[in-house]
Amino acid sequence: MKISGSLFGLNISSKGMSIQRKKMDLISQNIANADNVRTENGEPYKRKFLKVETEQNQFINNLQMEGQALNLQVTNKDHISTLQTPQNISISSGMGEISMTEKEDAKPGDQIYMPENPEADAQGYVQMSNVNIINEMVDMIAATRSYEANLQALNSAKTMAKDSLEI
């Protein structure tokens, strides 16, 4: 659901919450498969992570919106050198495009000597998964805290919108 107008903060918070939820899903999948030495393709389980990217642009490109203008007053013309007309800057409520990509960690896992394991090679070593439970738990805590922060920002924006309607 896309919200426009003066409530664009809700979009930012909801997008952040969906990113953190996806990260937590991948982390829980990694933890569940941490001891899996063979997957359906015959290789050890590879750690999955989420790569989040946004379009890179200059800050000045974010300052554009339909019809709203902000008169910017500067004391020195060199302060904002990228603008051709620093007196007429407009404010943007839009966000850049955000893309989420699920990737696999290419780093190999540990090789453990277990000659009795049926997956062992000729020398008796088994290639383990590259998932480190401690790192995954730290990532899970960070994702949970980020999700909670986005939820708090969403609730604050909703409260401000509700209170502004009561004026």
Q: Where are the domains of the chain?
A: 5-45+108-165
Task: Round to whole Å and give the CA distance between 69 and 90.
Answer: 4
Question: What's this model's pTM, rounded to 2 decimal places?
Answer: 0.69
Tokens in use for 57? Answer: 């642009």
**If you ran DSSP here, which 8-state letter would residue 89 be given?**
B
User: pLDDT-based confidence at 11, cuts 50/70/90?
Assistant: confident
Q: CA nearest 52: which of 90, 76, 16, 27?
A: 16
pLDDT tens for each residue of 16-65: 999 999 999 999 999 999 988 888 888 899 999 999 888 766 555 555 55
pLDDT, greater one: 77 or 144: 144
Strands (E), the chain: 48-54, 98-104, 111-113, 125-127
pLDDT tens for each residue of 92-132: 444 567 888 999 998 988 888 988 988 888 899 988 999 99
Rounded to the nearest 10°, the torsion over CA 93, 4, 24, 143 is: 40
pLDDT, greater one: 48 or 72: 48
- 3 state DSSP class of 97: coil
- 3 state DSSP class of 125: strand
